[in-house]
Amino acid sequence: MPRRVLLATNNAHKVGEYRRLLDGVPYEVVTPADVALDLDVEEDGETYAENATRKAVAFARASGLLCLADDSGLEVFALGGEPGVRSSRFAGPGATDADRIALVLERLRRVPGVSRAARFVCVIAIARPTGELELVEGECRGEIAAAARGSHGFGYDPVFLVPEAGVTMAELSPEEKHRISHRGRAAAKAREVLARLAMEGPT
């Protein structure tokens, strides 16, 4: 049986991105559904690293597999770093991506473009069932656009402007996005960790 690494997420968008980002690693990438694992871990930590660690450790212990989990967020400097670690909960329970985007734009309604700097941050935790853990991080800096644009990606991608490209993250192709995104940069480091772990032997 090939080595397997479990993605600690039930988010279909993230699963799709990670399958592309981890393509070619010396592991079969599997999801909780693939291994009949029904587990939900509360993401109420104070940092991305704390949330990613909680998920990776819990899923690794429950499955007996090497596990990869992430937590990510949008930090808008004019909003004091909000929504930050609360990015998915920013507009309250049951809110959609559109609701969260609308709230960010409303908070920035009187903030000029030159003051709308922001960054995406992603922390990936890789945990073994025995408890050993490694963390990697990636970030992407940009600005918040005046309005949502683009149909690719998910979350805050439609309002995250990549200045050097002149487009939002949601206007980039998946390949272009993965080259510069916070998740793409963190995943590149995670690939190095997974390659090293594979060389070290069974996990």
Query: Could you tell me the maximum CA-CA distance found in the chain, to the nearest angstrom?
Result: 57
Cα gap 170→191, rounded to integer Å: 24
Q: Please list, in sequence order, all residues whose beta carbon lies within 8 angstroms of the beta carbon of residue 89, skipping any fewer than 6 positions away.
A: 95
Cα–Cα distance measured from residue 168 to residue 156, given in angstroms and rounded to the nearest whole number: 10
Cβ-contact 20, 174 below 8 angstroms: yes
Has 99 been annotated as catalytic? no
- Whether residue 93 contacts residue 33, with contact meaning beta carbons closer than 8 Å, is answered with no
Distance CA(41)–CA(48), nearest Å, equals 14
The catalytic residue among 70, 71, 97, 157 is 71
How far apart (Å, rounded) are the C-alpha atoms in residues 124 and 108?
Answer: 29
Active-site amino acid positions: 71
